[in-house]
Amino acid sequence: MSAGRGRRAAHARRAPPPPRFCAPLPSFPRFCYTALMNSIQQRAYAKLNLTLGVRCKRADGYHELDMLMQQIDLCDTLTVSRATDVAVTGSGMLLPFDNSIRAAANYYRALTGRGAHIHVAKRIPAEAGLAGGSADAAATLLALDRLYGEVGRASLFDIALKIGADVPFCLQGGLCRAEGVGERLTPLRGMPLHVVVAKPVQGVSTGALFRALKLPRQMPDTAGAMRAIAAGDLPALAGCLFNALEEPAIALVPEIGALKARLLAEGALSACMTGSGSAVFGLFETRADAEAAASRMADLHFVCAAESI
């Protein structure tokens, strides 16, 4: 787990979890020395979809999903400083004025009156299906909670869901089964996973992909993937990787299929698109295998070796 989450203080107060979650949520740290901190750093971790299934389109226009989501150590880094207003700057990637970090900080300020000046060093690529924006929003909320300690975890999750469907998972972290639009989370015990993440130049618009989606679609064996992880059976997990959005995404961005084939040629046990794309990941037996494959794929627009956290 990340150092950014810290250890739970022995005197931390625990509020009951909101009813929509299927398991207890993490107790966020309430440090006794928060008043002494003026600036802190917080990592924002990317996620992978080990499975992604689309059950149906709901009456509200959203899609009912069933996913197995895993946080990995690919991350952005946020520096968050106390302030009365909200200001956001970035490096490593062009950051639009209206972004998930600003949204999270504004929601927190509306609730508490506390502002922040936030700088994000971006590494997670955009339009990749890696939840980069959602991870940044979640990291903002975690950092503000560390700085000020004035909002309970239930309120943080309420804010998270207002920002985006993946933000609650990015707050929870680890490995979860995510249902609904992604807000119904069942935390699970994970296993060490070593992956190579690659992305073509062109991204995929999540909205455009879902608008063009035709149902019904094949569903993944999410229960089988959960059993494989519980047993520590990497080959069995490799056989369960599946994303129902992959085929329509390849129709929009054919390079996704080419990247998947290359990962398999480089020795991946299995390869799959994550989220709505366009990033693809390959599952490898060891960290060394993943790093070696990533080095051979250094000609790509984006590639990195990563592991589960």
Just list the catalytic residues: 47, 166
Rounded distance between C-alpha atoms, residue 137 and residue 225, angstroms: 28
The tokens of 111 are what?
């609730």
Nearest to 138, CA basis, from 222, 26, 234: 26
Is the backbone peptide bond immediately before 192 cis, with ω within 30 degrees of 0? Answer: no
Walk across the sheet containing 302-307 and list its strands.
Answer: 270-273, 280-284, 194-199, 302-307
Query: Would you give the end-to-end CA distance of the chain in angstroms?
Result: 5
Question: Locate tokens 């996620």: which residue?
Answer: 47
Say which residues have a Cβ less than 8 Å from residue 157's Cβ, sequence separation at least 6.
18, 21, 25, 168, 171
Rounded distance between C-alpha atoms, residue 293 and residue 258, angstroms: 15
The three-class DSSP label of residue 146 is: helix
